[in-house]
């Protein structure tokens, strides 16, 4: 395995630090809003408020795909600038939100946080290849970012919950602003990139079969993630489980995301991205079936953990495919368009248990069937050559 020069390690460590700070801030914002949107209201009120919030999460993508993505590709250094601006903007908005939690102004401010968070996500994904010297190391670089992000979110979650209990949502938002401030410091240390190299147009690229099929599968996985998260949320509330119990379930989902980031590089040494995706999908279907047979808080935690693994594994595989196949000059637009597609999938999946009172057992059986169908469709879509690659050991990293 090629050793990465120390200077490159330092640069990437700064990049990881900025990413982790942004995720930690987003985690604290989610904690602050969770009480306002879900736990402090009746279950019927929760459905209406969450429905409005789901619509709100779609709004940033009206800007992300047609505006932010192309801007990042046209202007040298704009991806670095997007990270810096998102940190400054989210810190300022959190301070403003701290005094508007009981007003309708909360929703447009939350919208602004979502826009800037998504912009940073696109910039992060587009920047990774320029910071990694070997394309075969993309899975490992993405996994390192994912592990650090989950760890950062987990570390701030407990203090955030304590501040919420001892203080209020406003105090948690101030803490989030401080995390974005730390991210800003790390962002300024990112190197200025060289001018973008010319590449393919966006439309021809979007029709590359391997990328398109991977994107379609990831969209369905994101839909299942949103569906299962809210199915578990309403199922646990219906069973009388406290908000602390649901917090544990969310915590296990985060641990699953971390576990996925740990496992995926090991899978990459014994298989390729197709192997990772297929394995994750069958794992999700199996655990969902088991959880549906005897649902309770314990199995909800196991299922949430598995959903975290599946989401992490398939996303890391997808990001690596796009980072390897997409030319530098259009990478921002590619990730912006795909992020829009994925969010549509997540919102559609999440909206089902919000709009309809789905029995938990039946809902989990349905998710098992969808996991299995997606896995079979994925295997059919990669063709005979792709299926043959699944059982082949990839080249060692040189």
Residue 352: which of 340, 342, 364 has the closest Cα? Answer: 364
Residue 90: which of 41, 1, 24, 39 has the closest Cα? Answer: 24
257 to 103, 238, 251, 304: CA distances (angstroms) = 34, 26, 10, 10
The reported pLDDT for the residue numbered 87 is 92
The reported pLDDT for the residue numbered 316 is 83
Query: Measured between alpha carbons, how far is 69 from 287 in angstroms, rounded to an integer?
Result: 37
**Mean pLDDT for all residues in the chain:** 76
The answer to whether residue 344 scores a pLDDT higher than 80 is yes
The reported pLDDT for the residue numbered 32 is 83
| Three-class SS of 99-147 | CCCCCCCHHHHHHHHHHHHHHHHHHHHHHHHHHCCCHHHHHHHHHHHHH
Which range, of 171-175, 244-248, 280-284, 298-302, averages the lowest pLDDT? 244-248
What does R_g of the chain's alpha carbons equal in angstroms? 20
Taking a C-beta distance cutoff of 8 angstroms, is the pair 175, 31 a contact?
no
H or E stretch covering 366: helix 360-381
Q: How many residues does the chain have?
A: 398
Sign of CA dihedral 206, 207, 213, 216: positive
Torsion of CA 197, 203, 209, 215, to 10 degrees: 90
The reported pLDDT for the residue numbered 164 is 81
Percentage of the chain modeled with pLDDT above 90:
8
By CB atoms closer than 10 A (0-12, 13-18, 19+), residue 27 is buried
Whole-structure pTM value:
0.69
The reported pLDDT for the residue numbered 329 is 65
DSSP class of residue 195 equals P
The reported pLDDT for the residue numbered 90 is 92
Taking a C-beta distance cutoff of 8 angstroms, is the pair 340, 65 a contact?
yes
The reported pLDDT for the residue numbered 88 is 93
Residue 369: which of 288, 313, 309, 311 has the closest Cα? Answer: 288
The reported pLDDT for the residue numbered 175 is 92
Measured at the CA of 275, the angle between CA 271 and CA 216, to 5 degrees, comes to: 140
The reported pLDDT for the residue numbered 216 is 86
The reported pLDDT for the residue numbered 92 is 93
DSSP class of residue 76 equals T
Q: What is the pLDDT of residues 359-397, one digit of tens each?
A: 888 888 999 999 999 988 888 876 655 555 555 555 544
Residue 118: which of 57, 196, 187, 37 has the closest Cα? Answer: 57
The reported pLDDT for the residue numbered 1 is 41
255 to 92, 151, 161, 250: CA distances (angstroms) = 30, 8, 17, 9
pLDDT band at 398 (very low <50, low <70, confident <90, very high): very low
Which domains does the chain show, CATH number per domain? 1-191 (1.20.1250.20), 200-393 (1.20.1250.20)
Q: What is the pLDDT of residues 151-198, one digit of tens each?
A: 888 788 888 888 888 888 888 899 999 999 998 998 887 766 555 444
The reported pLDDT for the residue numbered 387 is 53
Query: Measured between alpha carbons, how far is 218 from 36 in angstroms, rounded to an integer?
Result: 30
The reported pLDDT for the residue numbered 152 is 84
The answer to whether residue 200 scores a pLDDT higher than 50 is no
The answer to whether residue 45 scores a pLDDT higher than 70 is no
The reported pLDDT for the residue numbered 397 is 42
Give me the mean pLDDT over the 135-149 stretch: 79
Top-ranked range on mean pLDDT: pick from 38-52, 77-91, 130-144: 77-91
The reported pLDDT for the residue numbered 207 is 46
The reported pLDDT for the residue numbered 4 is 46
The reported pLDDT for the residue numbered 2 is 42
Q: What is the pLDDT of residues 72-97, one digit of tens each?
A: 656 556 777 888 888 999 999 999 98
Strand ranges (E), the chain? none
Q: Quick one: tokens of 70?
A: 């192309």
Give me the mean pLDDT over the 243-269 stretch: 75
Helix/strand/coil for 220: helix
The reported pLDDT for the residue numbered 178 is 93
pLDDT higher at 90 or 238 = 90
Taking a C-beta distance cutoff of 8 angstroms, is the pair 324, 138 a contact?
yes
Residue 232: which of 83, 359, 131, 318 has the closest Cα? Answer: 359
Give me the mean pLDDT over the 233-246 stretch: 71
Taking a C-beta distance cutoff of 8 angstroms, is the pair 390, 268 a contact?
no
pLDDT band at 321 (very low <50, low <70, confident <90, very high): confident
Taking a C-beta distance cutoff of 8 angstroms, is the pair 280, 268 a contact?
no
The reported pLDDT for the residue numbered 77 is 66
H or E stretch covering 287: helix 273-293
Taking a C-beta distance cutoff of 8 angstroms, is the pair 232, 354 a contact?
no
pLDDT band at 6 (very low <50, low <70, confident <90, very high): very low
Give me the mean pLDDT over the 326-343 stretch: 73
Residue 345: which of 57, 37, 38 has the closest Cα? Answer: 57
Taking a C-beta distance cutoff of 8 angstroms, is the pair 394, 271 a contact?
yes
Query: Measured between alpha carbons, how far is 52 from 37 in angstroms, rounded to an integer?
Result: 10
Q: Quick one: tokens of 161?
A: 């919950």
* Helix, strand, coil share of the chain (percent; to 5): 85, 0, 15
């Amino acid at each position: 395995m090629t050793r990465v020069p120390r200077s490159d390690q330092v640069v990437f460590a700064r990049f990881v630090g900025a990413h982790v700070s942004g995720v930690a801030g987003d985690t604290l914002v989610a904690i602050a809003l969770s009480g306002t949107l879900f736990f402090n209201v009746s279950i019927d009120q929760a459905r209406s408020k969450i429905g409005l919030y789901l619509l709100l999460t779609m709004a940033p993508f009206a800007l992300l795909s047609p505006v932010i993505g192309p801007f990042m590709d046209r202007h040298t250094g704009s991806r670095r600038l997007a990270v810096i601006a998102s940190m400054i903007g989210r810190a300022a908005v959190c301070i403003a939100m701290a005094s508007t939690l009981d007003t309708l102004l909360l929703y447009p401010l939350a919208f602004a946080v979502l826009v800037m968070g998504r912009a940073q996500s696109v910039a992060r994904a587009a920047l990774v290849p320029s910071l990694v010297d070997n394309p075969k190391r993309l899975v490992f670089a993405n996994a390192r970012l994912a592990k650090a992000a989950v760890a950062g979110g987990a570390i701030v979650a407990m203090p955030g919950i304590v501040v919420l209990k001892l203080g209020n949502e406003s105090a948690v938002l101030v803490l989030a602003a401080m995390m974005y401030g730390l991210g800003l410091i790390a962002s300024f240390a990112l190197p200025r990139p060289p001018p973008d190299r010319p590449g393919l147009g966006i439309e021809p690229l979007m029709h590359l079969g391997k990328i398109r099929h991977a994107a379609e599968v990831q969209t369905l996985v994101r839909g299942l993630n949103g569906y299962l998260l809210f199915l578990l949320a309403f199922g646990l509330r219906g069973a009388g489980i406290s908000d602390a119990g649901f917090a544990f379930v969310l915590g296990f989902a985060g641990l699953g995301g971390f576990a996925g980031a740990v496992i995926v590089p090991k899978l990459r040494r014994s298989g390729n991205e197709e192997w990772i995706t297929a394995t994750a999908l069958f794992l999700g279907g199996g655990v969902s079936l088991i959880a549906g047979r005897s649902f309770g808080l314990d199995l909800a935690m196991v299922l949430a953990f598995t959903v975290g693994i599946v989401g992490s594994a398939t996303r890391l595989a997808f990001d690596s495919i796009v980072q390897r196949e997409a030319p530098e000059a259009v990478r921002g637009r590619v990730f912006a368009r795909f992020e829009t597609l994925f969010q549509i999938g997540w919102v559609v999946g999440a909206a089902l248990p919000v709009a309809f009172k789905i029995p938990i057992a039946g809902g989990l059986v349905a998710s098992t069937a969808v996991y299995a169908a997606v896995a079979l469709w994925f295997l059919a879509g990669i063709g005979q050559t792709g299926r043959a690659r699944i059982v082949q050991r990839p080249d060692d990293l040189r």
